[in-house]
Amino acid sequence: MTWGNNKRYYTLDCFYKEKFGSKIAKVSLNAGFTCPNRDGTKGVGGCIYCSSNLSGEYAGKKGEDIRKQFDEIKKVMLHKWPTAKFIAYFQAGTNTYADVLELKEVFEPILNEKDVVGINIATRPDAISNECLDYLEDLNKRTFLTIELGLQTIHETTSILINRCHTLKEFHDMVLELRKRNINVVVHIINGLPYETKEMMLETVKYLNQLDINGIKIHMLHILKNTKLEKMYQKEKFHVLTKDEYIDIVVSELELLRPDIVIHRITGDPKVEDLIEPTWLVKKFVVLNDIDKELKKRNTYQGKSLEVNVK
């Protein structure tokens, strides 16, 4: 089974072309929000793998006006895709972790930008208030809204280790609340978290496959300079997945996912100058091509294991 782009999984590019009929480019923005596990509300220091940029390495410049960030990045993208339309991606930090009036000041101006067809908001499941849910429901009626929830793993021991500071129940309940309002939900997971086995990673995907989610982002854990994870790695030398191990796990995860779940990301994309391990991750397109080759080699595709289970 293949999708419109001859991939054996449902890519984001394929989904966007089906929905909007054109190339869609994401503009990553930095609104300057912090996180509840960083400022002391839930914890301090943030997730152990998170950089000082709060996972916004490719986002705009912190402190700069949002519209200015958007315009500058958009100009660069138009050189590559002259007819593209855009989705504003609020990437860095927890982008619902503020009063609704402050959120409106950040999100509303982007709606008026030319050729913006949607907004993606990266956040945590424990940082969306009831008032914020009402605002997101209204926003969803005026643009193509996607909420990206960080989960990373369903395993409590790992969640504590990486300092997530929220529960699986909080995540589950927030997915239900968002979907009840017909808001698209994309979930982030990380393969290769310290001391997790392949079976544990597959359990996370099996759990998500039972939820009413619209998309998933699969990341490979990368160890960045000047993070708590770097210190932990230097001390404990925990196993970092090899490229072959990662590809094997990803292919197995794809087989377990419903065919309607859009694969927004399937590998990491760290900055070379910040990366400690794994060094193979810098060759992003090699990893993507090798995943395609492995899918073809196994004669498998997204959702195949579900078909076997039905039979």
Q: pLDDT digits over 63-97, tens only? A: 789 999 999 999 999 999 999 999 999 998 999 99
Token readout for 53 is 């940029």
Number of CB atoms found within 10 A of residue 83's CB: 8
- 3 state SS of 72: helix
With residue 105 as reference, give the H or E element that holds it.
helix 100-111
More confident of the two residues 62 and 139:
139
- Residue whose tokens read 């793993």: 153
**Nearest residue to 104 via CA among 91, 117, 92, 121:** 121
Q: Is residue 267 part of a domain?
A: yes
Q: Decide if 2 is inside a domain.
A: no
Three-state SS for 247? helix
Give the pLDDT band (50/70/90) at residue 30: very high
CA separation for the pair 210, 218 (Å, rounded): 17
Q: What percent of the chain clears pLDDT 90, i.e. is strictly above it?
A: 88
| Mean pLDDT, residues 107-136 | 96
Is residue 1 a contact partner of residue 61, using CB atoms and an 8 Å limit?
Answer: no
Q: Considering the chain, what is the average pLDDT of its residues? A: 93
Structure tokens belonging to residue 136: 């997101």
Q: What is the pLDDT of residues 231-282, one digit of tens each?
A: 999 999 999 999 999 999 999 999 999 999 999 999 988 889 999 999 999 9
The answer to whether the CB of 205 falls within 8 A of the CB of 180 is no
User: In the predicted model, is pLDDT for residue 144 greater than 90?
Assistant: yes
pLDDT for 311: 46
Coil, strand or helix: which one is 43? coil
Q: pTM of the full predicted structure?
A: 0.95
1: in domain: no
Of 23-37, 52-66, 166-180, the range with the highest mean pLDDT is 166-180
Domain that holds residue 240: 12-310
Please check whether residue 119 is in contact with residue 110, taking contact to mean a CB–CB distance below 8 angstroms: yes
- C-alpha dihedral over 25, 31, 32, 36, to 10 degrees? -90
Is 264 among the domain residues? Answer: yes
Q: Report the domain count for the chain.
A: 1
| Sequence-separated (6 or more) residues with CB below 8 Å from residue 295 | 8, 9, 251, 254, 301
CA-to-CA separations, 159 to 176, 180, 195, 215, 249, in angstroms, rounded: 21, 26, 12, 21, 20
Task: Say if 246 falls within a structural domain.
Answer: yes
Percent of the chain with pLDDT over 70: 96
DSSP-derived 3-state class of residue 140? helix
**Per-residue pLDDT reduced to its tens digit, 182-216:** 999 999 999 999 999 999 999 999 999 999 999 99
173: in domain: yes
Per-residue pLDDT tens for 149-159? Answer: 999 999 999 99
User: What CATH number has the domain bearing residue 49?
Assistant: 3.80.30.30
